[in-house]
Structure 1
Amino acid sequence: MPSRSLPADQVAWESLDSRLFRKISWRIVPLFIVCFLFAYLDRVNISFAKLQMQSALGFSDAVYGLGASLFFVGYFLFEVPSNVLLHRIGARIWIARIMISWGLTSAAMMFVTSETWFYVLRFLIGVMEAGFVPGVLYFFTQWYPSDRRARINAYFKSSICLCGIVGGPLAGFILGHFDGVNGLAGWQWLFLLEGLPSVLLGLLVLWLVTDRIEDARWLDGEEKRYLRERLDAEPKPSGGSSIRAILREPASLALSAIYLCLVMALTGLLFWMPQLIRNAGVDDALDIGLLTMIPYLLAVVGNLLIGRSSDLRGERRWHMAGCAAMATVGYALCAGFNAQLLVLMLGMSLVMTGIIAWMPIFWTLPPKYLAGLAAAAGIALINSIGQLGGIIAPYMVGKVRDVSGSATPALWLLTAVSLLAVVLIVWAVPRRLYAVQPESRTH
């Protein structure tokens, strides 16, 4: 960190530090928030399309659940290769490629007429999107020091909340008002209108994103020097910079297991929230869309407050464990009272707040022991193993509903998964990964 020997120097340093990171954040964070918003819209819009698509095409809950899960199969298989290529090619070109290709593939979902094409396209969307989230998280490590990453990651991950806030009412509106327009069903319009914006955003990434600090024309010379010095002063990761370091480090296994639990808890609710609300007695698509906003709105507030608290206090372990405990209580409420709309909404709000606030804190941990190519590949590896939870949970809920006629047993299983995450966070992660210096400044 730059030296500050005199009070005047300290004031100047704090002023430059605050101004610089505000400038960087306004340049790159809003763009990636919008990109992630459309990534999640393209990923989960089948949860709303299901309200029309399932009956129109004759899909069972198990078929729908398997299709939702196949996204994560493609994501899992191509995640690490994608991030290795990102490290070699550069974030600007590779993230733009990811967005353009997933947008086109998602829009092609409007042409689905059979189970086979449903499965194929869901798998391909996962392949095309693989590498986006860990790629952006790795990109942030090249621009932000560790004491700022939980908050920046929280802003980025808030896109999941925005997806729920915007996506629900938008999907309900499209399904209700575009059904039959130009001979297309509402669910077909949903895939088209939410897929194509990702293509345009990919082109915007090519224009606005800079891979290297030294190439950023929007920073002056002093700002570039200061930022480089700030990042170079970061403690070096303890696990080395080779891909072998990922496999040598026991923390990789612990973090992968935690993230697997997290993704199971997230996707178990994400893909079935509209159906759970319908089962609680709400029939209108727009009303369902509006109700899905509530858990996400509360999660936005909780995410930002918890992420900021974690940074300011320099504490990770108990913030993460508290978030996982919140999700555990929420799932227990959903399982025990899923026919009572008010309690169901409270439970879903606790689950969503806990999971969304948990994620950005979690992603501050891998860079503590991985650097260089290993950081890019390691983040991708942990993320891809976690995405196996996205294969398991949606299909499990659908299968349980088909067999038992109720989602309750699956919700109790997700309660247990969230509780397991609490145990792993507290006892399985090495203490050194939780160490961080609290901020002494107010921004």
Structure 2
Amino acid sequence: MALNPSDTALWPAPHASGAVDATVHVPGSKSVTNRALVLSALASEPGWLRRPLRSRDTLLMADALRAMGVGIEEGVGPNGTGETWRVLPAGLRGPATIDVGNAGTVMRFLPPVAALADGEIRFDGDPRSYERPLSGVIDALRVLGARIDDDGRGTLPLTVHGGGALDGGPVEVDASTSSQFVSALLLSGPRFNQGVEVRHIGATLPSLPHIRMTVDMLRSVGAQVDTPESGGEPNVWRVTPGALLGRDLTVEPDLSNAQPFLAAALVTGGKVLVPDWPARTTQPGDRLREIFTEMGGSCQLTEYGLEFTGSGAIHGIDVDLSDVGELTPGIAAVAALADSPSTLRGVSHLRLHETDRLAALTKEINELGGDVTETADGLHIRPRALHGGIFHTYEDHRMATAGAIIGLAVEGVQIENVATTAKTLPDFPDLWTGMLGSDRA
């Protein structure tokens, strides 16, 4: 049975008594699911979404689109092909109130959609959502012709006064704190009267693979997108106005959510198979193959999926994670168990994620006996013998899975609020104990 948030405050992280040997079916990608929902809602014809992720973030996205008039029917696909969502585009309308929870994709991707609606759309969310950067989207939408009330805060809560259309055109954005600012404008850009030209003017641009994912998915539904990679100007993306097609899309497994399971093979010297790992993908999590191999594992991509094997040794790593910041908590957990120090760089933007992930990782690993130091843009980790204790999650799903990784090697680790993993990885406790099987102590 899935763990509900009210079930328990402390979850004893299972300690592995031997090498894991398991096949783990990782649920669908949150990043792909939520982008596909937005694009399907803006399309000119119905579309299918097969094997979507059902998690807090994706259900918040679906409910938000429904509130604006989009039909989303849940059911089983043709020939029993697993869960399928049928998306029926409709005239976007208000009034509506949208709960974004603490989902960056919902709070950033949907204000541009709301600007195309006819009526007022109010956005609100969890207390932490009020602290997360949103001014890049708000300011850009105003330049493009939208009316937004945020009392000058540049954060939630806010109200978008949709006029049924948006002029669009050129706009400058500083996306140094989140690549989602760029993706948000690109996703709705085909529906703007003039399309959109987004020029990033910040010093850095984190999580660039997520922008590539957005571009790839836009093109898959018929949008014309010019990018720096396709011969355009550096840091400039252009989307031509036009109709979007309804598509039949099968969602890939969430490769970032595969991280704790691959880490389990690395930590225990075991083997984990993740079925349906794509040979080609824009998901940042695909870089785990390279990073965890450098840290002591080996992997093979077969017709069945990715087979990852630990060697019984864990090595430290010096790595720039600016493009794959979401992998930092899991890498930090593995690094704390390594045989040499690690330096994780390029992730200062993690201070503005679900929690301040750099401060949280430093505090929680150190309270288990570790030696982690924050740097200007990351972490320096010196492995030490760890002991049991409470590992706090700060309502951050990746903190919870990081604590579970450490618990494999360290007895007595208790995860506070492991149910927060439902944000993107439903039933994580059951998947975790199922992976360990008879090896669970």
The answer to whether TM tops 0.5 is no
Which has the larger share of strand? Answer: 2
Structure 1-normalised TM-score?
0.24
Structure 2-normalised TM-score?
0.24
Which has the larger share of helix? Answer: 1
Higher relative contact order (CA 8 A, sep 6+): 1
